[in-house]
């Protein structure tokens, strides 16, 4: 077998492996789509929205990205020393009868828990707003 023939065989095997990996990924995403959730840290099945925390002299501000979530689908509360952000991002009605092709935007139930370590001050829940997909939470010192 000529040297160039070996190159062809190796590239063909690599292409076959890539196709197999893509098929496995599609199968995994279809299972995830059927469950409508992503598991996190042994808690109930959900996805976790990202957050930023900013501290001022008077407050802690928690910013969480939850685009596509209606205000009445969000719950914000303090439980002991934990801030709990939870809610639901449903699949839009336009897409409920379609076939999932790419799964990058998490849907379904979400929950994010942040431990509040400010021992000097009891933090209380202040103003909570949802603006253009950004949840803004004030925790007063």
Q: Look up the CATH number of the domain holding residue 112.
A: 2.60.40.790
List, for residues 15-54, the tens digit of each pLDDT value: 878 877 776 665 565 555 554 443 334 445 678 999 999 9
Q: Does residue 121 lie within any of the structural domains? A: yes
Q: Does residue 9 lie within any of the structural domains? A: no
Q: Does residue 12 lie within any of the structural domains? A: no
Which residue numbers in the chain have pLDDT < 70?
1-4, 23-45, 118-121
Q: Does residue 42 lie within any of the structural domains? A: no
Q: Does residue 94 lie within any of the structural domains? A: yes
Q: What letter does residue 42 receive in the DSSP assignment?
A: T
Model pTM score: 0.66
Residue 97 exposure: Cα atoms within 13 Å on the Cβ side: 1
Q: Does residue 100 lie within any of the structural domains? A: yes
Q: Which domain holds residue 85?
A: 51-140
Q: Does residue 117 lie within any of the structural domains? A: yes
Q: Does residue 56 lie within any of the structural domains? A: yes
Please state the domain count of the chain.
1
Q: Where are the alpha helices (DSSP H) in the chain?
A: 3-35
Residues 6 or more apart whose CB falls under 8 angstroms from that of 123 comprise 60, 78, 116, 139, 140, 141
State the pairing for strand pair 74-79/82-89: antiparallel
Torsion angle of the four alpha carbons 31, 33, 36, 41, in this order, in degrees rounded to the nearest 10: 60
Which residues on adjacent β-strands are paired with residue 59?
140
The pLDDT of residue 21 is 77
């Amino acid at each position: 077998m000529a040297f160039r023939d070996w190159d062809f065989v190796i590239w063909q095997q690599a292409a076959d492996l890539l196709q197999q990996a893509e098929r496995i990924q599609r199968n995994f995403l279809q299972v995830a789509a059927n469950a409508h959730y992503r598991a996190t840290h042994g808690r109930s099945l959900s996805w976790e929205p990202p957050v930023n925390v900013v501290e001022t002299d008077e407050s802690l501000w928690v910013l969480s990205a939850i685009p596509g979530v209606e205000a009445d689908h969000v719950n914000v509360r303090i439980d002991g020393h934990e801030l709990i952000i939870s809610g639901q991002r449903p699949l839009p009605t336009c897409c409920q009868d379609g076939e999932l092709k790419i799964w990058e935007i998490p849907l379904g139930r979400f929950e994010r828990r942040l431990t509040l370590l400010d021992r000097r001050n009891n933090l209380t829940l202040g103003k909570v707003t949802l603006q253009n997909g950004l949840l803004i939470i004030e925790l007063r010192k």
